[in-house]
Chains A and B, each alone.
Chain A
Amino acid sequence: MRDLHNLGVAELAALLHKKEVSAVEVATRFLAGLGGNPHNAFLDINSEVTLAQAQASDAKLAAGTAGPLEGVPIAHKDVFVTQDFVTTAASKILTGYRSPFDATVVRKLREAGMVTLGKLNCDEFAMGSGNENSAFGVVSNPWESSHVPGGSSGGSAAAVAARLTPAATGTDTGGSIRQPAAFCGITGIKPTYGRASRYGMVAFASSLDQAGPMARSAEDCALLLSAMCGPDLDRDSTSLDVPAEDLSRDLDRPLATAGRQGGPLVIGVPEEWSEWSEGGLRNNDVSLDVLMPLTKALHQLIQLGAKVKRVGLADGNLAIPVYYIVACAEASSNLSRFDGVKFGHRAAQYSDLLDMYQKTRSEGFGDEVKRRIMTGAYVLSHGYYDAYYLQAQKIRRMIADDFQRAFAECDVIAGPVAPTTAWKLGEKTDDPVANYLADIFTLPASLAGLPCMSVPVGQSEGGMPVGMQLIGNYLDEARVLNVAHQFQLHTTHHTQAPGAAA
């Protein structure tokens, strides 16, 4: 029997199109792997729905009307609403919620032929970086079960790393695709803000939220992202009016000619993140476990024809306060819709309408979500708006401008995803500020709205995966994916599986 669990999206799609395996057979095998809910990665599965979708895929494959990804399984982060599966955003306040419609991203992936395996655990309302803020329990890292998988798309990263699914969707507000991808040794990309529709994504911070794929290679991510993106002008006010593209088109371009005017690709390394000098990287605030594989990866890219140079991102150190001001402000506004009236949890005992709102929300939201709502309400309140929210929006512009200056000198930017590898479960639970500080390298690109991804570059001494972050200019996803694919053609880090999955 063929080992379907170790095949990627492109390989499975090819087998299905050649009819060497049926969609029902693929779905049955992947569903069988979900028994006992390994790593607590899934929040909802429904084999009847999955198998019905697979049967429909087989009919299309037989009729010759199959989509490019027909019959390939995918699982969705639980912030995408789905008609056929429960959607909770990992919050008690949405326990049992059934959406009347599918998110645009979910619909587009169905139209491309993908079969939904279920919904994936995450931090409550995507607020967190360790998946420890889920109302339905922590997710463990498949590489070391005592460690976090990263967050907020922790269930997505763990499920892909553990070979429970060949692909998953994630969402990235301040690093929630890149950081868990790095912590679990998989590949993930967040596109330019506005490329993927936010329609049907449970909103956290609307000016930052973006959907993206998480899989085991850049090639697979390119296929998935091409299917997910495209204008959704009537349903998402910030959807870009830019046609869908084949983001796989540049994958095979050699790096020696992948730069501007056909010259070598120029990789900028921000000196504020890790100083590139004499062929090495230095930063006392970044673990050697991360710096060493990253340095090696840059040398491999140089061997493939790229050039590496230092660039500056001077205002990036302000990204943490700016991000948490903006994101909390937007969250406090977005989460006001959870009031116990139209959907979700309602407190059992209350005296009047105000009391019902307060009791419902206090019972339904977890600690981190409450903190962010409170922080947001404070920075938006009378007398503080200018000092915090407006000031943060101005510095946000300065951070975006920094990137444009850097991209005048380079084609892509490379650096760490996080200062360390995955930490132990519980290690930072009581110290939210420590969690926020670990987001330093992923927040700037989120604030600017740039496409960015995480690519596995090796492991720490303790055997935990390390990711390299690649950031491109606006709408330059194809180039970022090109760099990642060329790297993966010549290295094997992305093929490494955690012990239990191998």
Chain B
Amino acid sequence: MPLTSADITRIAKLARLELAPAEHQQMLDKINAFFGIVEQVNGVHTEGVVPMAHPVDAMQGSEAMALRLRPDLASEPNDREANQRSAPAVERGLFLVPKVIE
């Protein structure tokens, strides 16, 4: 089932991307070319197969997948300056963004 132009508009919004008209058409064509391959998965018989989220599951069984917990202790130093060094806009130790609430 090929994607439509409306699909591209919808997904671009979900993905927070703004596509210029030429880019929009190219995206539609290329994603549809890729979905030509993707459709192969539809005919595959997978009844009863347990989905595999990542390889540790296949290697050590689902018990090894349980999330590890560590003691609830501070382990990282306060490194605000280094953490904000590459931020586009910072003031008094805060990240600046456009006004969200009027």
- Chain A positions near chain B (C-beta within 8 angstroms): 96-98, 100, 192-194, 206-207, 233-234, 237-238, 240, 318, 320-322, 324-325, 332, 336, 339-346, 350-354, 356-359, 361-362, 365, 367, 370-371, 373-375, 377-378, 381, 387-388, 390-398, 400-401, 432-433, 436-437, 447-450, 474-475
Closest to B10 in A: A381
**Cα(A398)–Cα(B51), bound, Å:** 9
Given contacts A98-B86, A432-B30, A447-B55, 14 further A-B contacts (CB under 8 A): A98-B85, A324-B37, A336-B16, A342-B84, A344-B88, A362-B17, A365-B17, A370-B17, A395-B46, A397-B58, A400-B58, A401-B58, A449-B58, A474-B59
Name the contact of B52 in the complex, choosing from A324, A341, A397 (C-beta under 8 A): A397
Task: Write the nearest CB–CB distance from A36 to chain B, whole angstroms.
Answer: 28
- B49: chain A residues at CB < 8 Å are 394-395, 397-398
A345 and B97 in contact (CB under 8 A), knowing A318-B44, A393-B52? no
Flag if B87 contacts A373 (CB, 8 Å).
Answer: no
Range class of the B interface residue count: 35 or more
Flag if B41 contacts A391 (CB, 8 Å).
Answer: yes
A342 and B31 in contact (CB under 8 A), knowing A194-B55, A318-B40, A391-B42? no
Closest to B52 in A: A397
**Cα(A447)–Cα(B58), bound, Å:** 10
Task: Confirm or deny: B100 has a beta carbon within 8 angstroms of a beta carbon on chain A.
Answer: yes
A-B contact pairs, 11 of them (CB 8 A): A100-B83, A194-B59, A234-B75, A321-B37, A321-B39, A332-B15, A371-B30, A374-B8, A391-B46, A393-B51, A401-B58
Task: Write the nearest CB–CB distance from A404 to chain B, whole angstroms.
Answer: 8
Task: Write the nearest CB–CB distance from A132 to chain B, whole angstroms.
Answer: 15
Task: Write the nearest CB–CB distance from B26 to chain A, whole angstroms.
Answer: 8
Q: Is the interface of A mostly helix, strand, loop or mixed?
A: helix
Flag if B87 contacts A342 (CB, 8 Å).
Answer: yes
- Chain B positions near chain A (C-beta within 8 angstroms): 3, 7-8, 10-12, 14-19, 26-27, 30-31, 33-34, 36-42, 44, 46, 49-56, 58-60, 67-68, 70, 75, 79, 82-89, 95, 97-100
| Centre residue among A332, A356, A449 by max chain B CB count within 10 A | A449
- B88: chain A residues at CB < 8 Å are 340-341, 343-346
- B11: chain A residues at CB < 8 Å are 374, 377-378, 381
Task: Write the nearest CB–CB distance from A368 to chain B, whole angstroms.
Answer: 9
- A192: chain B residues at CB < 8 Å are 55, 59
Closest to A404 in B: B58
- A373: chain B residues at CB < 8 Å are 15, 17
- A448: chain B residues at CB < 8 Å are 55, 58
Task: Write the nearest CB–CB distance from B44 to chain A, whole angstroms.
Answer: 6
Flag if B46 contacts A324 (CB, 8 Å).
Answer: no
Flag if A320 contacts B37 (CB, 8 Å).
Answer: yes
Name the contact of B3 in the complex, choosing from A378, A392, A400, A436 (C-beta under 8 A): A378
Flag if A100 contacts B82 (CB, 8 Å).
Answer: yes
A354 and B42 in contact (CB under 8 A), knowing A207-B55, A378-B31, A433-B37? no
Task: Write the nearest CB–CB distance from A328 to chain B, whole angstroms.
Answer: 9
- A370: chain B residues at CB < 8 Å are 15, 17, 19, 27
Task: Write the nearest CB–CB distance from B79 to chain A, whole angstroms.
Answer: 5
Flag if B37 contacts A207 (CB, 8 Å).
Answer: no
Task: Write the nearest CB–CB distance from B84 to chain A, whole angstroms.
Answer: 8
Flag if B16 contacts A358 (CB, 8 Å).
Answer: yes
